[in-house]
Structure formats: structure tokens, C-alpha cells
DNA sequence: TCTGGGGTCCTAGGACCC
DNA sequence: TCTGGGGTCCTAGGACCC
């Protein structure tokens, strides 16, 4: 059996932990630049705010219902997420974090699984104030379904639901609309609906495995089996990321190459730091630029380019150098750029460093990077920055209402 | 006026190898 | 008239997730 533990309206719930006065009121949390609603309390959902709604389009509802609006505070959410995982690990030894607000627990070999889940939910709420829903089922995709039922019927299920019999599995699949199945997005849902498939039950009974393989690749076929109770999506041990990205939209349109260079330097420093944090190197760097995709009236230009590094590296100097070279090769005058970013890949562990035929004996700049990371850790992030970065941070994000990171920073404790 | 960021996996096709 | 078989790697693009 797998358990799926999922924080309800996670970001909004995190905000409530630090400000209990928000309980019962509509709360939303915005994306970077205060762009879109990316988390909503139940009350905010009830008055019609949709996932991803741009703030400027829901201004009236916000005003009318006195919706509490927060900028995103990832320091806080990351901290709460780690606390939640810690509590889960106290009761379930094998845990696979799936996203910032949810995790799979492997229940094989654990007795009284349902009772454990009930206890776990209680503990998480009592100790860190985050309400959760828990689904329990023989496969991962069924645990997702069970979780949805727990979330939809909190009174009847106590927010914990187990699919532990064939009758329950069938009932649950019949209840689940095809769009709500984990792994079936808009494109596949439309394709399936046009074939008369409207529920998860239809998907496992009315359409052949061959058709699914042909039209939804092997991924869809695995999902079909998994929903039948044959486990095809397995527990995965935590591993290093395969891509690391840093991308941002700009608050305004940018034509100036100098500004883009500054952004690229900052992004490079950021991903290099993440690489070092997980003790890996990268060997490929992708740089891209985007014009505003919401302005079809303006000329559009969305170039991107890959650059291989000479050897695996996590040096900010090396990555910045390659990224700037990439930028120069794609930049063209006369466009209004709205977004830029870099993605590094070809990630290998530091421990298996591949020597270059002609190059230096060991990875470059190791000592300098180590010193910088240490100083930044000791004296605060960005204490040491790189020449290409804008240390005055004039390109700062628009963020009107950021809460305190009351759980992760001594200086931001709540004062009563 | 204002529209996020960071990930995963799979497939097809081209270029290459012996 | 006739033109093998078995591979790898890379890239672009599409689908999905939170």
C-alpha cells in the first residue's frame, strides 16, 4: 500500500499558521511579481477564484470579499514543507517527497495502516498547524484517487480515505472524472472524451491497452495498469535533479542587452549554487529569451541555445561565461523581452568527475566557490556576489505583501 | 498596465558508428 | 533491377505534474 499525504491549499495554509486571524477568511497567495493566484483557501475557491487567475482580472472579487492577498514566501513554505516531511518520517520509514506539499509513504510491512494515517494527520495539524488529506491504496495512482476523495469529503472521511477493497476501487474510479486522473491532462482528456471515455472507470474498462499505448505512449499504458491495481509506478528513492533551472519574468519589457546580461549572471550564480548544494556538476547549459506571450500584437522572438561546457563544472565563473556566450548568440536588437532563463543539465555527481583530455587536473575554482558558499552561509545570502550581478537589485520582483518567515528565521519571529 | 517557476518522461527523426 | 542490420547520441517537441 501507498499513502499520499497532501497539505490542503498548502501555501494559503502556511500563511494561516503565522496569522490565525485568517482562518475562515478567503486567502490567496500570488506567483512571483504578484502575477497570478497560485494557492487559494477553500473560502477563496468558493467565491470563484480559479487556479492561475491573474490578479488584475480578479481585482473586483478581491475587493468585494475582502480577500487577503499574499505575495509568495518560498522560504516559509520550504521550511513548513520540511517540517511536514520530518513528521511523516517519524511514522513512515520510506517517504518519497513528490512536491513541496505532498509525499508518498511506502506502507508495505506496516500494520494498522489506516490508523497510522489518521494519527499522522492529527500530528501534522497539531504540531505545525497544516491541515492535510491522506489517501491510502495499493498503487500510487489509486492513492492519488483516494486522496482526492479524502479532500472532497472531509466530514465523511475525516480527511483520510483508504481504497482497500475491489468494491471501493471500482466505486472510486467511477466517481473520478477523466480530467481529474493524475497523469491525464487537457490534451489526453479531450482525446479520451471524444472516444466516450468520461471517468477513470471508463479509462480502465472501455479502451484497450494497445490503443492507449499507441495514443498515450507507454506512460499512459502504465497508468492504465496502475489504476487497475497493478503497480507500475514505483517508489523512487530521492535522487539528484536532472535539470536545474532559474528563470524569471521581468516586471517590464527589456530591450537592453546590458540588463539581460545582469539577469543571466544572477541566474548563473543561482544554479551554480544549487549544483554545489547537491554536490553535482553540469555539462550543458541552455539559455533562452522570451518576448511577451500575451501580446500577439508585438513581434515575437523566443530563441534558446545549448552550450556544452568543456568539462563538468559547478563553478559560477564557468557557468556564467558559457551562459553569457549563449546570450550573445541569441540576442537580437529590437525586441521587447519579458522573460529569460537558464537551465543546466547533463548533471553528474562531483565524485565521478570526468577528466578532460587537455584540461586542468581537477575542477576549476573549487576553493573560491567553497569560500564563497561558506561566507554566504555564515553572513547571509548574497553577501558575496559576482561582478556581473546587480548588487543593488534594482530589478527586484514586485512583491507587495510578503509575510514573515516566522518558522525559519529568528529575526522574523511573530511578535504578540 | 498588469499574466509564475521548476520539474519529469517519452518519441520521432537526423546524424553518426561498425 | 538491385541497395543490410543493429546500434548510439542528440535535439526538438509534446505531454504531463505541482
Band (A351; pLDDT cuts 50, 70, 90): confident
pLDDT of amino acid A305: 87
Nucleotide with smallest C1' distance to residue A305 CA: C11
Residues by CB within 7 A of strand C: list them.
Answer: A 98-102, 144, 181-189, 284, 306
Å from A226 (CA) to C14 (C1')?
23
How many angstroms separate the CA atoms of A159 and A295, rounded? Answer: 43
**pTM of the complete model:** 0.90
High-pLDDT (> 70) share of chain A, %: 95
Question: Is residue A323 predicted with pLDDT exceeding 50?
Answer: yes
Q: Estimate in Å the CA A357 to C1' B17 gap, whole number.
A: 22
What pLDDT score does A308 carry? 83
Residue A358: the pLDDT is 61
pLDDT of A88 > 60? The answer is yes
A65 pLDDT more than 50: yes
pLDDT band at A357 (very low <50, low <70, confident <90, very high): low
- Grid cell, residue A273, equals 549554487
Residue nearest to nucleotide C17 (CA to C1'): A183
pLDDT confidence tier of residue A360, bands split at 50, 70 and 90: low
In SS3 terms, chain A reads as CEEEEEECCHHHHHHHHHCHHHCCCCEEEECHHHCEEEEECHHHHHCCCCCCCEHHHCHHHHHHCCCEEECCCHHHHHHHHHHHHHHHHHHCCCEEEEECCEEEEECCCCCCHHHHHHHHHHHHHHHHCCCEEEEEECCHHHHHHHHHHHHHCHHHHCCEEECCCHHHHHHHHHHCEHHHCCCCCHHHHHHHHCCCCCEHHHHHHCCCHHHHHHHHHHHHHHHHHHHCCCCCCCCCCCCCCCCEEEEEEEEEEECCHHHHHHHHHHHHHHHHHHHHHCCEEEEEEEEEEEECCCCCCCCCCCCEEEEEEEEEECCHHHHHHHHHHHHHHHCCCCCCEEEEEEEEECCEEHHHCCCCCCCCCCCCCHHHHHHHHHHHHHHCCCCCCCCCCCCCCCCCCCCCCCCCCCCCCHHHCCCC
Give the per-residue pLDDT at A394. Answer: 47
Other Cβ atoms less than 10 A from the Cβ of A266: the count is 22
Query: For A11-30, what is each residue's pLDDT tens digit?
Result: 999 999 999 999 999 999 99
Minimum-distance nucleotide, CA of A7 to C1': C18
Q: Which nucleotide is nearest to A243 (CA to C1')?
A: B7
> Looking at the predicted structure, is the pLDDT value of residue A242 above 90?
no
Contact positions of strand B to protein Cβ (< 7 A): 1-11
Is strand B in 7 Å reach of the CB of A278?
no
Q: Can you give the distance from the CA of residue A330 to the C1' of nucleotide C18 in angstroms?
A: 31
How many CB atoms neighbour CB A385 within 10 A? 17
Assess whether A296 (CB) lies less than 7 A from strand B. no
**Span A29-54, pLDDT tens digits:** 999 889 999 999 999 999 999 999 99
Mean of per-residue pLDDT scores for chain A = 91
Question: CA of A224: how far to CAs of A1, A82, A163, in Å?
Answer: 18, 32, 17
Amino acid at each position: 500500500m501507498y499513502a499520499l499525504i497532501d497539505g490542503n491549499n498548502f501555501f494559503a495554509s502556511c500563511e494561516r499558521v503565522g496569522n490565525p486571524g485568517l482562518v475562515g477568511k478567503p486567502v490567496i497567495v500570488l506567483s512571483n511579481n504578484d502575477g497570478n493566484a497560485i494557492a487559494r483557501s477553500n473560502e477563496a475557491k468558493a467565491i470563484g477564484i480559479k487556479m492561475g487567475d491573474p490578479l488584475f482580472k480578479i481585482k473586483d472579487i478581491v475587493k468585494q470579499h475582502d480577500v487577503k492577498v499574499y505575495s509568495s514566501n518560498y522560504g516559509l513554505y520550504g521550511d513548513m514543507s520540511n517540517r511536514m516531511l520530518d513528521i511523516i518520517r517519524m511514522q513512515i520509514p520510506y517517504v518519497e517527497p513528490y512536491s513541496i506539499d505532498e509525499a508518498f509513504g511506502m506502507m508495505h510491512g506496516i500494520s494498522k495502516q489506516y490508523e497510522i494515517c489518521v494519527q499522522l494527520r492529527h500530528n501534522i495539524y497539531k504540531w505545525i498547524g497544516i491541515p492535510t488529506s491522506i489517501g491510502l491504496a495499493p498503487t500510487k495512482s489509486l492513492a492519488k484517487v483516494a486522496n482526492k476523495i479524502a479532500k472532497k469529503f472531509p466530514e465523511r472521511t475525516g480527511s483520510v480515505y483508504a481504497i482497500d477493497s475491489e468494491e471501493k476501487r471500482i466505486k472510486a474510479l467511477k466517481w473520478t472524472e477523466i480530467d481529474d486522473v493524475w497523469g491525464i491532462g487537457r490534451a489526453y482528456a479531450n482525446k479520451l472524451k471524444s472516444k466516450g471515455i468520461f471517468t477513470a472507470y471508463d479509462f480502465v474498462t472501455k479502451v484497450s491497452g494497445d490503443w492507449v499505448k499507441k495514443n498515450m505512449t507507454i506512460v499512459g499504458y502504465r497508468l492504465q495498469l496502475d489504476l487497475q491495481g497493478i503497480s507500475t509506478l514505483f517508489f523512487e528513492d530521492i535522487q539528484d535533479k536532472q535539470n536545474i533551472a532559474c528563470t524569471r519574468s521581468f516586471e517590464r519589457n527589456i530591450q537592453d542587452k546590458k540588463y539581460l546580461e545582469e539577469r543571466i549572471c544572477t541566474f548563473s550564480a543561482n544554479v551554480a549554487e544549487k549544483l554545489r548544494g547537491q554536490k553535482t556538476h553540469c555539462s550543458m547549459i541552455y539559455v533562452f529569451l522570451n518576448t511577451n506571450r500575451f501580446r500577439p500584437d508585438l513581434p515575437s522572438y523566443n530563441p534558446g541555445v545549448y552550450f556544452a561546457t568543456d568539462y563538468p563544472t559547478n563553478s559560477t565563473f564557468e557557468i556564467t561565461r558559457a551562459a553569457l556566450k549563449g546570450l550573445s548568440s541569441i540576442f537580437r536588437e529590437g525586441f521587447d523581452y519579458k522573460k529569460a532563463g537558464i537551465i543546466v543539465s547533463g548533471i553528474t555527481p562531483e565524485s565521478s568527475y570526468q577528466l578532460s583530455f587537455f584540461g586542468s587536473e581537477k575542477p576549476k575554482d573549487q576553493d573560491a566557490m567553497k569560500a564563497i558558499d561558506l561566507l554566504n552561509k555564515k553572513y547571509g545570502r548574497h553577501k558575496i556576489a559576482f561582478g556581473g550581478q546587480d548588487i543593488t537589485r534594482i530589478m527586484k520582483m514586485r512583491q507587495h505583501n510578503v509575510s514573515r518567515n516566522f518558522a525559519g528565521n529568528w529575526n522574523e519571529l511573530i511578535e504578540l
